[in-house]
Structure 1
């Protein structure tokens, strides 16, 4: 409970800082500039997710079960990081002009992306190490360093009057870089006492056998979260995306309720083995789901009534449509928070392949609903389609949980 409380407190503080960062950038760059900046972030996160290979979850899973040492996990992570840096820089050098024309972005954004994405990926892998060790003091500090650093850089850029979005994008990269350096420093200073489990090649094979399923699940889940942005951008342009991204940023702060619980819950469930451990897993998951549901409903009611005056006052009338989008997204977010708890159980039990199938079905469902509603109804249609998709995701995930927990 203490770990959950500390993690929730960290995520609450992180959410406030990230929101302030979103507020400052949106107000200073305007809807158009904020839309371009938001698309750059989404592109980085999307590419980073593709390159993650599910190793973050695999690191948590195998360290939590004490099958491999921290040194083996970090050695593999650093090797892959070096390969990614070389590949992305080479891609910018040799096919950068084609990418610039295809996606209508500047070279400056592309160069930042080439070094930013490997750092974001490495950061997630190293966080998985401390999550597996259940060392949430270091985990929480690292997760705070990134938004705090990025926000300070944003404030400094605004003070200087910098109006180019790429500098704020670079500030976001620096925040992730500082967090990654901190994690690496802590690992280099620690002495892990976990059992050895073979060489680097052995861990790579084992990690991929677990990670590729988690990877497919993460890719499909992320696609479900972001398909609304891509379709909205295609039909309405970056200015509308800039407004909708404010709603999305607000609603994603709502995730911290389930994220705090699942961050602590997953490694704890992983460590519970045997018949008695199986019973404890189900009971702990059910208890967590109950409190996440109640917390989500209460917070959702507050947000529903406060979001309209809040956005109109803080962001201004040009972002007013974001308030309705938040209200439409809220019911889906309650069910989404619950689905994350059940997904933690399923993944900890080794049935991560089931979650990959669920996520794939949810992605296809989300693409279909968004393709129908978003072109016609714009921001409201994107929000409604996404909210419906979250509810659909919950029911599929709950069905799998019932099946595997018997």
Structure 2
């Protein structure tokens, strides 16, 4: 992680994610208290349906375009072939949806079918620009545009919900943000349309076939719990579950930033045979993901019930046990997410497909068994079991390709700092009655400060890299 461009791009992604997380938290609190769990449940179902339908329009071509463009050979040609192919699939899907509109009774009744169509159309522009920017390695620009996308969406949604538009305001804001983010990236876009040949189509198609199957499995895996909760239970249950899941995602935003930054780099390193760089980046990716995930998990377990109650409202307080289970899921997700990302970047798609299909089948079966019996906790347990299975299989396959090294010394330092932080937070809760949100925020803020000081004091390697990053940032701002 000592390579300047990687640090810089990872920092950009990380800073934007921190900012967006804070703004997103405030907006979600507002939505939860204004429209309630039922409307939020409808919105989360809209996003789940959109993910599945978008899979049909993309066909794995987005991942194939990132891969081929990142290899540095004929990027303009592969970009052109990608846009033409994706436009063709988009047209087929849109015509099919419009013809079969009467079959989507729930979406028609809620008034979001038209927003679904608009979201698909705008996603054509967004996917073409964003995938190409990622393939070119312009992750800082892409991350900034993603932040602008998210912030624009939130402001639109808040204003629309304030005016009383409910689910239409939430869905419309999603479309608006997607469009704004696309326009921002176009300003820095330097690929151009050129003539392409059938060999370029075949090259994209050969890679996209595997990425499509893998993406299909991952999307089904990530949306099965939401859709099956909507089928077996109520929209309000979907809302409570997804809010708990969204809250626990705080533990992995460092992982998301690292994944976006490292994927095109690892792809390139794999082509030129820089195995040492790949292995070093993998070890540091695990460490930097856990340096935030573990203390957030500890704090969530100790204070999560009060945070859900005071932030989102009484009806969301019942999601505490689900939240604890999902925090564990997020810890496992770090190893699963990074391992599968490296397998994808290194072209081991057949192995990744097998792993994904096993996890998908297990996830659907477990959700179908557990949700009717124990409700939203059943969905969380199903996700935990299948996430663990996915992580173990992915790391097993990756270990045959690379030497996987978890930095045990740094891990122990993170655990020690988290334990000492937990003593303060637990003691505070025992002494101080948490009767309002301000009293809850005190251990969150102070505990975070204690952890940060301790982990930097315990781990000289992390401290050294932190000082180097700060020094470079100061130099770059002068």
TM above 0.5, yes or no, is: yes
Counterpart in the other structure of 2:289: 292
CA distance in 2, matches of 1:276, 1:42: 38
Gapped runs of 5+ residues in structure 2? 1-6, 404-478
Residue 172 (structure 2) pairs with residue 170 (structure 1): yes
Q: CA deviation at 1:169?
A: 0.6
Q: Indicate the larger mover: 261-270 or 50-59.
A: 50-59
- Superposed CA deviations along residues 186-238 of structure 1, whole A, max 9, x for unmatched, are 21xx368xxx9981543322112112212211221222222211221111121
What does 1:292-371 correspond to in 2, within 5 Å? 292-371=289-368
- Whether the 8 Å contact between 2:82 and 2:204 is mirrored in structure 1 is no
Q: CA deviation at 1:159?
A: 3.2
Q: CA deviation at 1:263?
A: 1.0
Q: CA deviation at 1:132?
A: 2.1
CA distance in 1, matches of 2:232, 2:71: 47
The residue matched to 2:247 in structure 1 has which SS? helix
- Whether the 8 Å contact between 2:65 and 2:204 is mirrored in structure 1 is yes
The residue matched to 1:105 in structure 2 has which SS? helix
Counterpart in the other structure of 2:120: 117
CA distance in 1, matches of 2:252, 2:198: 36
- Superposed CA deviations along residues 297-342 of structure 1, whole A, max 9, x for unmatched, are 2222122223221110011111112222111111121111122222
Relative to 1, partners in 2 of residues 1:242 and 1:191: Cα closer, same or farther, differing over 3 Å? Answer: closer
Residue 129 (structure 2) pairs with residue 129 (structure 1): no
- Superposed CA deviations along residues 84-123 of structure 1, whole A, max 9, x for unmatched, are 55445433543212322xx463373112211212323542
Relative to 1, partners in 2 of residues 1:156 and 1:341: Cα closer, same or farther, differing over 3 Å? Answer: same
Counterpart in the other structure of 1:90: 95
Counterpart in the other structure of 2:71: 65
CA distance in 1, matches of 2:169, 2:315: 24
Relative to 1, partners in 2 of residues 1:46 and 1:334: Cα closer, same or farther, differing over 3 Å? Answer: same
Counterpart in the other structure of 1:154: 157
Relative to 1, partners in 2 of residues 1:44 and 1:274: Cα closer, same or farther, differing over 3 Å? Answer: closer
Relative to 1, partners in 2 of residues 1:48 and 1:173: Cα closer, same or farther, differing over 3 Å? Answer: same
Q: Indicate the larger mover: 71-80 or 218-227.
A: 71-80
Counterpart in the other structure of 1:40: 46
Q: CA deviation at 1:22?
A: 2.6
Relative to 1, partners in 2 of residues 1:274 and 1:62: Cα closer, same or farther, differing over 3 Å? Answer: closer
- Whether the 8 Å contact between 1:85 and 1:114 is mirrored in structure 2 is no
Relative to 1, partners in 2 of residues 1:395 and 1:121: Cα closer, same or farther, differing over 3 Å? Answer: farther
Counterpart in the other structure of 1:99: 104
Relative to 1, partners in 2 of residues 1:301 and 1:41: Cα closer, same or farther, differing over 3 Å? Answer: same
- Correspondent of 1:138 among 136, 141, 156: 141
RMSD of Structure 2 on Structure 1 (CA) = 2.4
- Whether the 8 Å contact between 2:61 and 2:86 is mirrored in structure 1 is no
- Superposed CA deviations along residues 56-93 of structure 1, whole A, max 9, x for unmatched, are 22222112211222x33443344345435544543354
- Whether the 8 Å contact between 1:49 and 1:121 is mirrored in structure 2 is no
Relative to 1, partners in 2 of residues 1:21 and 1:56: Cα closer, same or farther, differing over 3 Å? Answer: farther
- How many residues end up aligned between the 2 structures? 397
- Higher RCO (C-alpha 8 Å, min separation 6): 1
The residue matched to 2:375 in structure 1 has which SS? helix
- Whether the 8 Å contact between 1:48 and 1:121 is mirrored in structure 2 is no
CA distance in 1, matches of 2:307, 2:124: 34
- Whether the 8 Å contact between 2:229 and 2:371 is mirrored in structure 1 is yes
- Correspondent of 1:76 among 49, 62, 81: 81
Relative to 1, partners in 2 of residues 1:58 and 1:86: Cα closer, same or farther, differing over 3 Å? Answer: closer
CA distance in 2, matches of 1:107, 1:27: 20
CA distance in 2, matches of 1:395, 1:300: 21
Q: Indicate the larger mover: 32-41 or 391-400.
A: 32-41
- Superposed CA deviations along residues 123-167 of structure 1, whole A, max 9, x for unmatched, are 23422222222212311121112111111112222332x143123
- Superposed CA deviations along residues 341-398 of structure 1, whole A, max 9, x for unmatched, are 2222212221122111111111111112222221111011111211222111110110
Q: Indicate the larger mover: 128-137 or 138-147.
A: 128-137
- Whether the 8 Å contact between 2:65 and 2:79 is mirrored in structure 1 is no
